[in-house]
Homo-oligomer: A and B are copies of this chain.
Amino acid sequence: MRQQKSVSMADVARVAGVAKSTVSRAFIHPTLVAAPTRERIRRIADEMGFRPSRVARALSTGRTGLLGLVVPTLSNPFFGPLVAAVQQAAEEEDRQIVLMISELSAERETRLIERLSSEVDGLIVATSLCGDPFLRKVAKRIPLVLVDRRVGRLPSVLIDTPSGVAAIADHLIGAGHRRLCYVSGPPGSWADAPRIAALRGRAEESGADLVVAGPIPPTVDAGIEVSETVAKAGVTAVIGYNSATVLGLLHGLGTQGVRVPEDVSVASADDFILFQSTKPAVTVLRLPLEEAGHAAVGMLARLLRGERPGKPVVLGPELLIRESTRPPG
């Protein structure tokens, strides 16, 4: 098979018999090179497969055409559709997405953001694990849009899961449940405080009890582990932080001899295509992830054009009631 090497500017210069700086000028400052020379250099570069387009654009505009996207994981079904939507929206703007996965580590996320911010035109960071001061500092250096995270007035696209979680509570309390459990997500999760506040509000209004289990990592295994605590909490309904938590709960509660939904109703604060197909099918919040991806790219594009990003976009989830939740007893 044919061996290949990238063609450098020096290669083009050698073949064309000109200085490297002449090749550079032929692409970047064409008016500084006599037309016949320029045309010859471009033809040779083209034949040799030299690819100056993005580079030339970057040099003359200070832009690379690249947008960075940082997500915590691809194992959580939240992020696949978001990444796909961001990539598609970016493509419509003739921009490309450099993807970084932080593997649920704040330390790694910090490092990836530091690095990406000198390589791309702008950044979209989803459900960031980093602290507010770091994100503010980044936003001073490079256009930044947060997804599912609010930091003061930084541009952000928010999914209003607190109101969605409150809607699940209304559904459960309306069905007669009097003692609910919320299984919370990772320690320090930005999403949890407003959800728990919303749930507390609903419980107080209706005289129901709320037990908060966790915090636990948002994984199937941690959901299985926390099931023992949930089984002993004397609750008739559980709301899980996300679909991985709930998959763990479904499995773990079964192992504990707790039947869903006969003994305990279970609902998930996010959706997962498979929850249609599990037994029982699971009551979920459907999150507007495609909309969120498009909104984030739109906001970043405005920042890159030097326009105001606009107010945070708040998108509402939809409650889909299925077999896993029903009146208690």
CA distance A308 to B3 in the complex (A): 7
Stretch with Cβ within 8 A of B (4 or more), from A186-194, A198-206, A244-252, A263-271: A244-252
List residues of chain B with CB within 8 A of the CB of A52: 59
Judge if A232 is at the interface, Cβ distance under 8 Å: no
List residues of chain B with CB within 8 A of the CB of A4: 142-143, 303, 306
**B273 with A9: CB separation less than 8 A:** no
Within 8 A of B (CB), among A24-77: 24-25, 28-29, 32, 49-55, 58-66, 73-75
CA distance A66 to B304 in the complex (A): 22
- Nearest-neighbor residue (CB-CB) of A12 within chain B: B62
**B74 with A1: CB separation less than 8 A:** no
List residues of chain B with CB within 8 A of the CB of A248: 277
**Chain B's nearest CB lies how many Å from the CB of A265?**
18
**B121 with A103: CB separation less than 8 A:** no
List residues of chain B with CB within 8 A of the CB of A84: 73-75, 101, 103
Stretch with Cβ within 8 A of B (4 or more), from A91-99, A125-133, A209-217: A91-99
Judge if A256 is at the interface, Cβ distance under 8 Å: no
**Chain B's nearest CB lies how many Å from the CB of A141?**
6
List residues of chain B with CB within 8 A of the CB of A233: none
**Chain B's nearest CB lies how many Å from the CB of A214?**
19
- Nearest-neighbor residue (CB-CB) of A118 within chain B: B51
Judge if A154 is at the interface, Cβ distance under 8 Å: yes
Known: A3-B306, A247-B277, A277-B250. A119 touches B83 (CB 8 A): no
CA distance A54 to B51 in the complex (A): 14
**Chain B's nearest CB lies how many Å from the CB of A225?**
13
List residues of chain B with CB within 8 A of the CB of A61: 6, 8
**B121 with A6: CB separation less than 8 A:** yes
- Nearest-neighbor residue (CB-CB) of A61 within chain B: B8
Judge if A14 is at the interface, Cβ distance under 8 Å: no
**B62 with A8: CB separation less than 8 A:** yes
A residues near B (Cβ < 8 Å) are: 1-11, 20-21, 24-25, 28-29, 32, 49-55, 58-66, 73-75, 79-81, 83-84, 87-88, 96-101, 103, 116, 118-119, 121, 139-143, 153-155, 220, 224, 247-248, 250-251, 254, 273-274, 276-279, 303-304, 306-309
